[in-house]
Amino acid sequence: MNYETTNPQTLAVHHGFGSDPTTGAVTVPIYQSAAFTFDNTEHAADLFALKQLGNIYTRIHNPTCDVLEQRIAAMEGGAAAMTTASGQSAVAFSVLNIAQAGDNIVSSTDLYGGSWNLFSNTLPTMGIEVRFVDPADPEAFRKAADDRTKAFFAETLPNPKLEAFPIAEVAAIGDELGVPLIVDNTAAPVICRPFDHGAHIIVYSATKYIGGHGTSIGGLIVDGGTFDWERHAERFPVLNQPDPSYHGAVWTEATKEMGPVAYIVKARCTLQRDLGAPMSPFNAFQFLQGLETLPIRMREHCRNAQVVADFLAGRKEVTRVIHPGHTEGEVRRRARSYLTGGFGGLVGFELAEGVEAGRQFIDNLSLAYHCANIGDARTLAIHPASTTHSQLTPDEQAATGVTPGYVRLAVGIEDVVDIIGDISQALDTVSSVKKAA
């Protein structure tokens, strides 16, 4: 694209690709090739030595994935990005890129279950301690940190609580201490731009809103390029001392000519090389289609979710509505400060009659799908107490924000009249069962 713009809605359609130089194809081709030929031996050596960037092997880099990476980095106002096979591998790599055995990270307690498991069970087996703190108090991050802390980690809009994370407050503490803030922005693409608030690294499950149609699993890590790894060389030897796994490269020096991309280049050259979780080019193509309509879809998701939340607040079966638009005080202030493009597509609500009412509601939906996903064009619903959170004790469920009658809706982009119609008739069945009992 020759046209200069910083508008995410235009970047989502154009950035990183004009037309295919060989065929003139207007859409990004799927370069479904494991390997790429070198011009000659010197070219090959230069690519391996990072003297020149280019295509070697799809585990490390692929031209279809490259357009997606450039596009999302531009939309976020970041320096560069890397695609991964899943959101989960993006979360894992974002931490493993800078933390080693003996190190720790400080994480918000309010996390997606997969990240919670990674942090509380798998990373400790690798010698990486994860210290969980309540995001209600940003200072808790400072208190939990020490000189072996390599990152702060949080989700912008974690469910089931749906309380926006204090990005600027915790990023500022990170800047003071020399600790980068990694933000999982999966639930709030476009509506929140974490780098604008001081976050240093963004991760995504592209599976959700970026893909938008529930067809493919994938993830992204975006490097903001704003964290000064050299200034904090003592804390980050992995980026500032010779890496024996890459013929002694010092990542901050080896990438000097490329811009502030030491973090993401190291992730690509070491973690993708050694652990190998690349995005398939076909999935990158799917995500590129999704990305083009992401800003428009997010507007519809936000608008529909707000209507659904307001509708639920007026129903007698519902004791509480969980939605950023239905909050007060500091929680509301944070929602307004960080979710500047809208309050997102997720809505939670509690049914007074508990587990049975939750199951009854779900079983009687006829438009919405019952599944463990979010970010699809279709409205999706789940009853966490009997599914995703059923292995937890009632106390553990309560700590994560799941009550027996909690239902999560990932509101889609159907006509909101039909979404409300479906929810309304399913709620009617909850009331009629109660009356019959």
Give whichever of 205 and 255 is closer to ligand PLP, judged by the CB atom. Answer: 205
Which of 58, 64, 83, 86 forms a contact with ligand PLP (CB under 6 A)?
A: 86
Nearer to ligand PLP, 219 or 260 (CB): 219
Q: Which residue has the tokens 């500022």?
A: 172
- The answer to the question of residue 304 lying near ligand PLP (CB under 6 A) is no
Binding mask 317-346 for ligand PLP (x = CB under 6 A): ------------------------------
CB of 409 to ligand PLP, least distance (A): 15
373 to 146, 186, 226, 411: CA distances (angstroms): 36, 12, 32, 11
- Told to check if 91 binds ligand PLP by CB under 6 A, we report yes
Query: Which phi and psi angles does 234 have, rounded to 5°?
Result: -65, -35
> In this chain, which stretch among 57-65, 73-81, 87-95, 331-339 interacts with ligand PLP, using CB under 6 A?
87-95
Asked if 198 is part of the footprint of ligand PLP (rule: CB under 6 A), the reply reads no
Q: Does 93 bind ligand PLP (CB under 6 A)?
A: no
- Contacting residue, 83, 186, 240, 397, with ligand PLP by CB under 6 A: 186
Single-letter residue type at 277: A
Binding-site member from 69, 76, 184, 317 for ligand PLP (CB under 6 A): 184
**Site for ligand PLP contains 236 (CB under 6 A):** no
Contacts of 372 (CB under 8 A, 6+ apart): 382, 387, 388
Contact between residue 413 and residue 301 where contact means Cβ atoms under 8 Å apart: yes
d(CA 189, CA 292): 13
Q: With respect to ligand PLP, which residue has the nearer C-beta, 114 or 354?
A: 114
132 near ligand PLP, rule: CB under 6 A: no
Give me the torsion for CA of 318, 320, 323, 328, rounded to 10°: 140
- Choose, by CB under 6 A, the member of 207, 280, 327, 400 that binds ligand PLP: 207
Give the position of tokens 């939990």: 144
- Residue count at the site for ligand PLP (CB under 6 A)? 15
112 binds ligand PLP (CB under 6 A): yes
- By residue count, the chain amounts to 437
Strands 201-205 and 181-184: parallel
Q: What is the DSSP string of 142-182?
A: HHH--TTEEEEEEESS-TTT-----HHHHHHHHHHHT-PEE
| Residue 155 in contact with ligand PLP, rule: CB under 6 A | yes
Interacting residue ranges for ligand PLP, rule: CB under 6 A: 86-88, 91, 112, 114-115, 155, 184, 186-187, 205, 207, 217, 219
